[in-house]
Amino acid sequence: MNARTEFQVIVGKDGKPAFVVVPYDQFRRMKGGFNHATVPNEVVNLAFERGVSPMVAWREHFGLTQAYVAARIGITQAAYAQMERARQPRRATLEKVAAAMSLEVEQLRW
């Protein structure tokens, strides 16, 4: 039986399958697919290569200053710098920072 598939296979120069195009809605339902709390590879690399917190990695990824994020939260730059240095920030802290950077809390907790 040949079931209709909505995937599109793109063949490489060598004649072998190289890519698969999947409808976005189906991709979102796939295990391991994109979801709203995904963390880009660039952010992960910043954190692990430089040994910084996810907060620092995201802030630098977005090209933001500590003063800018602090102002969005309504605190001083020095207070925000302490948040970035915390080994295990409180949930309330993560919620404030996530909101200031338009992220999900889960994107700051890894």
What is the CA angle 34-40-43, rounded to 5? 155
pLDDT at 35: 61
The length of the chain, given as a count of residues: 110
From first to last of its 110 residues, the chain has per-residue pLDDT tens of 455 567 888 999 999 988 888 887 776 666 655 566 789 899 999 999 999 999 999 999 999 999 999 999 999 999 999 999 999 999 999 999 999 999 999 999 98
Write the class of the CATH domain 41-108: mainly alpha
User: Coil, helix or strand for 10?
Assistant: strand
pTM value is: 0.69
